[in-house]
Amino acid sequence: MAESGTLPTGFGELEVLAVGTVLLVEALSGLSLNSLTILCFCKNPELRTPSHLLVLSLALSDSGISLNALMAATSSLLRRWPYGSEGCQVHGFQGFATVLASICSSAAIAWGRYHHYCTRSRLDWNTAVSLVFFVWLSSAFWATLPLLGWGHYDHEPLGTCCTLDYSRRDRNFTSFLFTMAFFNFLLPLFITVISYRLMEQKLGKTGRPPVPALIAKAVPTVNAINYALGSEMVHRGIWQCLSPQKRERDREQ
């Protein structure tokens, strides 16, 4: 690990500065947009629906990813990891758990939209709450396993953030990686693709406009724009949150 003020081995000044700057921009933009989504959900009763609860779960997980990136950006600009070995394990756990929660929340949103558009029945609160609970419980479970010995968290090559140690080639890590990837990447991807494919077939027959594309949903900023800020109802909620006069008129009415 590099000392304070020194560069990590194998990296130049410009590379470290570029990584830190990009991480900082991503972290601040993701935090800003997803915090706005969370604020609107909390302040606007119109947005407190089962479907938007799934979007809230995605915003919370993506906010966690952005916080994780903010720590990595700070470390990159400091040119060292200042939080010690225990901090590395916490950082790895928090980042991995929120990434898994984001992926599974995206799959839950896809299934929720399929349920709404293809079955013509609204998502109820019990189902939405159960989905969110399962998403976070499952994510925490898989993120805990490396702390218990199945898998391993360690510093990335730059040495300024921590994640799964993909450099390991032993049977322990390989078995963890393939099992985890099946349940947390392939299965959510299958649910997402099938849900949107069925919606495309259903909406194509009724002449309705196509659903959003399935590309780039892992980035917190893109998620905020695609799922939250892309909703007309959320647009109204944001306007009400940011306009005190609008809130006063609504209360008077």
pLDDT digits (tens, 9 = 90+) for 208-218: 433 632 333 33
Check residue 156 and give its pLDDT: 84
Residues of the chain under the 70 pLDDT cut: 1-11, 205-253
Among residues 220, 187, 33, 215, which one has the least CA distance to residue 111? 187
Helix H segments across the chain? 13-43, 50-78, 84-119, 125-148, 171-181, 187-206, 220-223, 232-242, 244-252
pLDDT score recorded for residue 61: 92
Q: What is the length of the chain?
A: 253
Global pTM?
A: 0.81
Closest to 211 in 3D by CA, of 142, 139, 113, 141 = 113
Instruction: Give the per-residue pLDDT at 226.
Output: 53
Q: By the 8 A CB rule, do 154 and 162 touch?
A: yes
137-190 confidence digits (pLDDT tens): 999 999 999 999 999 999 887 788 898 888 888 899 999 999 999 999 999 999
Contacts 24+ apart (CB under 8 A), 214-221: 217/106, 217/192, 218/99, 218/102, 218/103, 218/106, 219/26, 219/30, 220/26, 220/30, 220/33, 220/34, 220/62, 220/63, 220/65, 220/66, 220/102, 221/26, 221/29, 221/30, 221/33
Q: What is the dihedral of CA 179, 72, 225, 124, to 10 degrees?
A: 50
> pLDDT value at position 238?
52
